[in-house]
Every structure is written in C-alpha cells, then in structure tokens.
Amino acid sequence: MNTNKKNFLVTGGTGFIGSNICRMLLKRGHKVTIFDNNYRGNLNKIYDIKKKITFINGDIRDRKKVFSSLKKINAVIHLAYINGTKYFYTKPDLVLDVAIKGLTNILDGCIDHKIKELYLASSSEVYQEPSEIPTTENIELKIPDIFNPRYSYGGGKIITELMGINYGRKFFKKLVIFRPHNVYGPNMGNEHVIPELLNKIKKLSKRKNKLKIQGTGNETRAFIHINDFVDAFELLIKKGKHLNIYNIGTNFEIKIKELISIMTKISGKKIKIIKSNIRKGGTKRRCPDITKIKKLGFKPKINLQKGINLLKV
C-alpha cells in the first residue's frame, strides 16, 4: 500500500463539513468510511460519493459499534456532534451525552486498535466572549455560567480538547485539534446565521419588509466558505503538528447588519431591520486570528460576497 494513502474513518461524515472533507479525501486517493446516525446529516449530502465510501449507520455513543468500525482504519476525523444553536438550549443533556460518550468511545477505540492519528473538531464557542479579537488559539477558554444550557455545546468542546491533549500525549503520534469559525456553503442546513437570514429575506415582500434579527445588528462574525475550510483542513492532514490547536476561519470580521446589506443587495429587496435581545450566552464579537494556519500555507480564496452569490439566493 502507498504509505500516503490511508483508510480514514470520518464520524459525522454525512454532515455539512464531513461530507465535504470526505470528497477531498477521496480525490486524494484515500479510502473513506463514514460513521453517522444521520441525526442531522443526510445521505443526500453524499449522493455523489455514496458508491465510493463505506457507510456505517451508527450512534457514536454505541461503544461496540464504534470499536468494530475502527478495524483496518489508520486515521480518524471526529466530527459527530449535536450542532444547531436551538439544541444547545433545548437538549443540553443530549449535546453533552453525544459529546462525552462519543469522544471517549473514539479515544478508547483508537487506543484499542492502535490508531495513532486523530483529528478532533472543536469550535469557536470555546472562547465564548473572547478577551481579545482577533482571537489567538492560546487565550483562555470559558464556561461563563454553568447554569446556562447554551454552554453544553462549548463545554463539551472544552472537554474534547482537554481529553484530546492529555490522551494524545500518551497514546497518539498525531493528534490535532481544530476550531472552525462560522463555516458556510451549499447544503449547510438551515440552523446557521447565513441560511437563517437568507430564508427570512426570501420570505419578505414590499409590504412585509420587516426583518427581525437577534441582537442589534452590530454583533460580528467572520465567515469562511466551505471550500476554503476544506483547503485549510487538508493542510492539517499534510502539515498539522501533534498536540496543536488551529483556528480555521477568516479574519474578515463583519457586522451582522453589513452581512444583511450584502444579502439584500443581491436579492434587490429593501428591508427594515427589527432588533431584539440577543439570547443569553450569545457571543457579541467573534473573529479568529489565523496566523497559525496561514503558516502552514493557508490562503482563503472566496470572499463573502462571492460566497453568498454562490449560494444562489
């Protein structure tokens, strides 16, 4: 076997990011097994590669099934997780169950099968309201209020990192953690900032032109197109360093009201923004420092205007 070609297991592989990573892995000649229960993922997202991959329909909390899926695997990309802000508030116990049991099954399964290469998905949510913007990987991680269910998501990711680093030191040769920052693109599902806003704008008309948003519109994010995200991720496979954490995003910080303005220009609609309170625990400003991933050669290519155009509003 060519030593550069590997057998990857991708958990959460029928999801938004996972399906795109799998496409890239296949293009590079790797073999791919997807492990997903399609809770939010969907086989339609991988319709074009379905025949080229092995699909295991399983719950990441099912230890036996996770262990048996790791036979003959050389490297694991662990993405399976409960996403979508509404679930953080309504199903925090499920978010944590999938986060913690999923993680321990993957770590123990890799150790049992002597798999030495593991990529763990974390999130920008580990910073919550960051103390510096752009935010570097080494600033403090926070759970500001243990009683706010929102932090089930970020809390699960902090535990993922803590266990990943400490198990990684002892049992792995290459354990890499990455923190995606607001990834967007086709087939991302509706529970993200960009599709939510686009769908609301689509429904507006001349007479019904009021767009209710969360917050004042002065909140910021930095968005990265999925194609750029996958380029960055490929660099982690080629050059990412053991026990390192990488932000993946862009440093183009934009106010939500400016984002809306890009969308309305494309759609040609005139709208009126109605402000509302930001949900408790929601982040006001978010923008990663991407110096570290840039040092591996990362250059984002798709600016936001172009990326939104590509979504075919």
Site residues (vs ligand NAD, CB under 6 A):
12, 14-18, 36-41, 59-61, 79-83, 98, 121, 123-124, 180, 182-183, 189
Q: How far is the CB of 5 from ligand NAD (least distance, A)?
A: 24
- Which pair of tokens denotes residue 291? 């110096």
Closer of 101 and 269 to ligand NAD (Cβ): 101
Name which of 38, 95, 105, 88 is nearest 281 in CA terms: 88
Q: Are 15 and 187 in contact (CB under 8 A)?
A: no
DSSP class of residue 47 equals T
Helix (H) or strand (E) holding 39: none
Q: How far is the CB of 297 from ligand NAD (least distance, A)?
A: 22
Closer of 59 and 108 to ligand NAD (Cβ): 59
Closer of 74 and 105 to ligand NAD (Cβ): 105
Q: How far is the CB of 145 from ligand NAD (least distance, A)?
A: 20
Q: Are 286 and 240 in contact (CB under 8 A)?
A: no
Helices assigned H by DSSP within 136-255: 151-171, 193-203, 226-239
- Which pair of tokens denotes residue 124? 């920008």
Q: How far is the CB of 36 from ligand NAD (least distance, A)?
A: 4
Q: Are strands 7-11 and 75-78 parallel, antiparallel or unpaired?
A: parallel
Name which of 228, 238, 223 is nearest 176 in CA terms: 238
Q: Are 310 and 302 in contact (CB under 8 A)?
A: yes
Q: How far is the CB of 123 from ligand NAD (least distance, A)?
A: 4
Give CB contacts under 8 A, 24+ apart, made by 41-48. 41/12, 41/13, 41/14, 41/15, 41/16, 42/14, 43/14, 45/14, 45/15, 45/16, 45/19, 45/187, 46/13, 46/14, 46/19, 46/22, 48/23
Closer of 98 and 230 to ligand NAD (Cβ): 98
Q: How far is the CB of 269 from ligand NAD (least distance, A)?
A: 26
Q: How far is the CB of 239 from ligand NAD (least distance, A)?
A: 20
CA 238 to chain centre: 19
Q: How far is the CB of 208 from ligand NAD (least distance, A)?
A: 30
Closer of 100 and 271 to ligand NAD (Cβ): 100
Closer of 41 and 240 to ligand NAD (Cβ): 41
Overall size of the chain counted in residues: 313
Helix (H) or strand (E) holding 93: helix 92-112
